[in-house]
Amino acid sequence: MMDWSDRHCRMFHRHISKHTWLYTEMVTTGALVYGDVERHLRFNEEEHPVALQLGGSDPADLATSARLGEKWGYDEINLNCGCPSERVQKGAFGACLMAEPQLVADCVKAMRDAVSIDVTVKHRIGIDDEQSYDFVRDFVGKVAEAGCTTFIVHARNAILKGLSPKENREIPPLKYEYAYQLKRDFPDFEIIINGGIKTEAEIDEHLKHLDGVMLGREAYHNPYVMASFDQRYYGDSSAPKTREQVLEAMIPYIQAQLAQYGPLGLKLNSITRHMLGIMTGLPGARAFRQTLSDSKKLALGDAQLLLEAAARLRITA
């Protein structure tokens, strides 16, 4: 979710669901050890609970980055062992780390020693032609020796050469049964599934076998799918916000962000680009997206554009 689930996206999602855990885009250790820490780690207090996902393979750098994450107030540190992009591979992290479970264990131990918050791992079920369930079972077992008890399983192999990141989300077959078997083999661990999940019915089916479900692209492209999550999964009795109420709630946030960071180059589109999918499935959704993508209107920097776009639909819920 690099360049997608930034703090503006997460704030938008928080207005749809108050309780769902949110995850940052992957932040590399180099960006924190040598770069602008505030730019990468600042977030809105309303985002809690929120996890910082790290990309890296050096235990010392990961420990430093995890410590920074805790200092900035994140609720969880997550190590990415699932991203298959060649850019990430060149940095010797992401999915290629699954070939080195002892190194991942060393990284997890270093982070756990550095912070008091949870350290979790997100990973695939295999890499390249390694199709055996034994591979992911042994990976989880080795990493667990370092004290990790929460594993987020993208239930596809990662093909490190020959497929783009997009193709890696579509071509390798989903094997949900591998995640189910992990839960049976490691019943005391929290096993969360990810990959190709789009509907509440699918979520409900997975929750019969596992401890949690993570949504990625679906939550971004069709964010209002989360509207009923608080009531359905967290026991919240309050009514979900309508789409229009979500847009209205974002206006003060956008105005404040533009006032504070606009002089530094923040544009209205930096926030509204994450909101294009909120009308997915409704008649007029295309007109909404067109209005919210109008470069001339966006250049005016007026957050009321959200309501102008919504006015092109007849919103009843």
For residue 85, count other CB atoms closer than 10 A to its CB.
Answer: 18
Relative orientation angle of helices 101-114 and 133-144, to the nearest 10 degrees: 30
CB 28 within 8 A of CB 91: yes
> CA-to-CA distance for 127 and 122, rounded, in angstroms?
14
In order of 2, 6, 132, 287, 290, the CA distances from 268 in angstroms are 19, 14, 47, 19, 15
Among 9, 81, 83, 96, the active-site one is 83
d(CA 264, CA 244): 29
CA-to-CA distance for 261 and 257, rounded, in angstroms? 6
Cβ distance 32 to 41 under 8 Å? yes
Q: Is 83 annotated in the active site?
A: yes
Angle formed by the axes of helices 176-185 and 133-144, nearest 10°: 40
Residue count of the chain:
317
- The burial class, CB within 10 Å (0-12 / 13-18 / 19+), for 295 is exposed
Q: Which amino acid is at 101?
A: P
Q: What is the DSSP letter of 49?
A: S
Residues tagged active-site:
83
